[in-house]
Structure 1
Amino acid sequence: MDALLEQIIADFHERPLPQLTRRTVELPALTNKIDTVIGMRRTGKTWFLYQQMQDCMERGIPKECLLYINFDDERLYPMQRDELRRIPETYYRLYPLHKQNTCYFFFDEIQNVDGWEPFVRRLLDSENIQLALTGSSARLLSREIASTLRGRAITTEIFPFSFAEVLTHQGIDHDLFRPPGAEKRALYANRLHQYLLQGGFPEIQGVEAPYRQQILQEYVDVVILRDVIERHGVTNIVPLRYLIRHLLNAPATLFSVNRFHNDLKSQGIAIGKNTLHEYLEYLIDAYLIDTVPIFARSVRRRQVNPRKVYAIDTGLAQAFRHDAHVDRGRLLENMVFTALRRQRLEISYFRSEEGYEVDFHTTSRDGIRQLIQVSETLSNSQTRQRELRALVVAMEQCQLNTATVVTVDEAERIEQHGRLIEVIPAWRWLLTQT
């Protein structure tokens, strides 16, 4: 094992880091805290670690002060937890002078070793290191980290590429410091349409539609198998697959477990309501979908009203369409949700007693609130009246003086009853989100 670890460490220090598309996320890297990076499979967690290594080297830290171990390396199978101690021992034997310096250890997919948690806690306490871990969402979820690492970890979530990151990946400048001209606006609008359909998973950027759909469907199959069936011991697989297809085929819609349970029952598929609730939570834990409650101060009202369901990426939703139809309105709303979700905002939807609905009410960690309506277009007079009326009612009841309407490509400033509504193209809105 020692000879193998020496070879793995030497190979890492000898190889150049891969060229990567820079993510806008940063690690906190707090003293005496373990950075844990989580998210759905194939979102780029490993490459995000490479970005952190590159940043270290740009700050003048020698590469020999960095250690990267990928526990998915088949040469390490089957590594036992009592062998983990050999990693720092081997490293410091190779670089004894670095024991006096701060070193940076990056452990990828460490959950492959049973009982890894005491090792990383001891390593953080006994050595002068900054430690970052990644893991599949199957066994390195945020709530599990909280219990197993006993408050020693701080979590960073990785999602598929944002719109800005996709433009960066394609080599397209997206600095809005200067207003873009007509040609640049047309380019942004074109790329927005692509982004709506293909989503942001790094691997499928630029892949033709049939292959892209197949790859994304295979992503979901792996999540079902590894992060739901194996992890939770699910045996009633038929209703689970029905649930996933239903949710991904109908993004940005209200979902009721009771109604879905009745639909399954009418088809002769047996499953309990409580089990369906559990399945839904499993899919949220695996970062496949997410849900949004109604905006209400009453806990009971939030509980009894149905939640809206969103895919974690619009590409997944489009890959599970039953037909070739593109519902740009739903995809646009789902895209806005994922942008808000990246910011770790408190998200809900607003519905008045009269039935007026606004897609998003958000609250930041600083207490800043905003109302966001999503509409493909306001060119239709009935649509315009409905969307603006809902926003005015919501602004009055939420005591807010401003609101936003995100459209495909329209821009306008509207005053209604002393309140300001800004209509903004989706590409511009996305590029202003941080």
Structure 2
Amino acid sequence: MVAMRRETWVEVIRDFHEQELPELVEREVNVPIRLPIRRAVSIVGPRRVGKTFYMFQLVKKILSSGVERSRVLYVNLEDVVGVDVKELTVMLDVFYEMYPENKRRDVWLFLDEVQCVPGWESFVRRVLDVEKVQVFICGSSSKLLSIEVATSLRGRSITYHVLPFSFREFLRAKGVTVERYLSSYERAKVLNALSSYLEWGGYPEVVLYPEERYRMVKEILDVTVYRDVVERYGVRNIKLLKLLLRALTSSTMFSVHRFHNFLKSQGVKASKNTIYNYLEYLADTMIIYPLRRYSPSYREAEQTMPKIYLIDNALLKVGGVESRGKLLENRILTELLR
């Protein structure tokens, strides 16, 4: 791998400090900009929920508190070609050379798509040990699971989840203001927005660009299959995985037993263990959420069949689910996850 020249890092750092931050729909995820302990903040979530834009929201929050922009650095490591873990150290050295006063002050470092640099964990651990740096990391849901971050950083991280828009965030994105007392017209606008939210959910791009929403949701499903599951876990039976995802998105009453019988009727060979494994893979990507029936006995709870929910109603919509009751139930679950 060819090492980057220091001049390239100077350009990357200057570009961030000179560029305008994008317009944002303010999210209600409460991530502190200062931690009282030396921990990295890990921002995780399913695909296309706005994790990168949430990082920019945190940058704006830091700047609005009176911190100079020169004390904040955001780098998307997917955009910087040819970086290895040693280059991250060079990046920080260049940053301090450009702003030597920062050596004595608290600074904030945002590393987006951190999985693009093999061995990034050692760099983050070293920074936490020896520098006055608050580190924020974010990455692809296919390669940066919350449990892996905790393991890689040896417990030196705190994880926050970003999910699709809540209804309050949805209204904000649509420019709908909700006062304590509503006129009949305002009430009608909110109810119309709620109807749209229940059907098409809260993926930011789907909300902001409704004319392309069907294509966008299908793309999320396709990428989940091919990158988040097939590439990550080496799944060979892609047909089975596609059938499973189709079954999950077309019904809120999924049953492994019924699905297994359906496969046999279609001449598709697959064991129940394989189906359970694939469900676990999909749960890792946070596109589905298996919920078991509550029991005070852990053993009894684990023996019950989980009910499968999806992370956003848009996934059910493209699968053909029209029942308002089922859509509302799925939406309630996602709200409880916040």
Indicate the TM-score class for this superposition, using the shorter chain for normalisation.
over 0.9
Give the 5 Å matches for 1:13-412: 13-28=17-32, 29-30=34-35, 31-73=37-79, 76-175=80-179, 178-208=180-210, 211-251=212-252, 253=253, 255-321=254-320, 326-342=322-338
Letter aligned with residue 207 of structure 1:
Y
Post-superposition shift, 1:258? 3.0
Deviation digits for residues 132-172 of structure 1, max 9, x if unmatched?
00111112111111211111000000001111001111222
The answer for the alignment partner of 1:424 in structure 2 is none
In 2: Cα distance, 1:260 partner to 1:298 partner: 28
User: Aligned with 2:118: secondary structure?
Assistant: coil
In 1: Cα distance, 2:302 partner to 2:117 partner: 39
In 2: Cα distance, 1:113 partner to 1:336 partner: 38
User: Aligned with 1:137: secondary structure?
Assistant: coil
Post-superposition shift, 1:326? 2.0
Letter aligned with residue 299 of structure 1:
Y
Post-superposition shift, 1:207? 3.1
Q: 1:7 aligns with which of 4, 7, 11?
A: 11
Query: How many residues are aligned here?
Result: 332
Letter aligned with residue 39 of structure 1:
G
Deviation digits for residues 25-66 of structure 1, max 9, x if unmatched?
021342301000000111000000000010111100001100
User: Aligned with 1:40: secondary structure?
Assistant: coil
Letter aligned with residue 212 of structure 1:
R
Fraction of identical pairs, as percent:
40
Deviation digits for residues 165-218 of structure 1, max 9, x if unmatched?
01111222224xx33333322221110001112211111224345x31111110
User: Aligned with 2:108: secondary structure?
Assistant: strand
User: Aligned with 1:85: secondary structure?
Assistant: helix
In 1: Cα distance, 2:74 partner to 2:167 partner: 29
In 1: Cα distance, 2:143 partner to 2:133 partner: 24
Post-superposition shift, 1:21? 0.7
Higher relative contact order (CA 8 A, sep 6+): 2
Long gaps (5+) in structure 2? none
Higher strand share: 1
Deviation digits for residues 98-130 of structure 1, max 9, x if unmatched?
111100000001111111111110011111011
The normalised TM-score by structure 1 is 0.74
In 2: Cα distance, 1:317 partner to 1:87 partner: 44
The normalised TM-score by structure 2 is 0.94
| CA distance 1:300–1:263, shift in 2 (3 Å) | farther
Q: Is the Cα contact below 8 Å between 2:176 and 2:190 reproduced in 1?
A: no
In 1: Cα distance, 2:55 partner to 2:257 partner: 42
User: Aligned with 1:35: secondary structure?
Assistant: strand
CA RMSD of aligned residues (A): 1.4
Post-superposition shift, 1:233? 0.7
In 2: Cα distance, 1:56 partner to 1:206 partner: 26
Give the number of the structure whose alpha-carbon radius of gyration is greater.
Answer: 1
In 2: Cα distance, 1:221 partner to 1:63 partner: 38
Letter aligned with residue 48 of structure 2:
R
User: Aligned with 1:77: secondary structure?
Assistant: coil
Post-superposition shift, 1:315? 0.9
Q: Is the Cα contact below 8 Å between 1:217 and 1:320 reproduced in 2?
A: no
Long gaps (5+) in structure 1? 343-434
Q: Is the Cα contact below 8 Å between 1:200 and 1:313 reproduced in 2?
A: yes
Q: Is the Cα contact below 8 Å between 2:49 and 2:203 reproduced in 1?
A: yes
154-163 or 195-204, which moves further after superposition? 195-204
Deviation digits for residues 218-270 of structure 1, max 9, x if unmatched?
0111111111111111111111111111011113x2x3323322221221111
Deviation digits for residues 246-300 of structure 1, max 9, x if unmatched?
011113x2x3323322221221111222221111011111011111111212334
In 2: Cα distance, 1:208 partner to 1:47 partner: 19
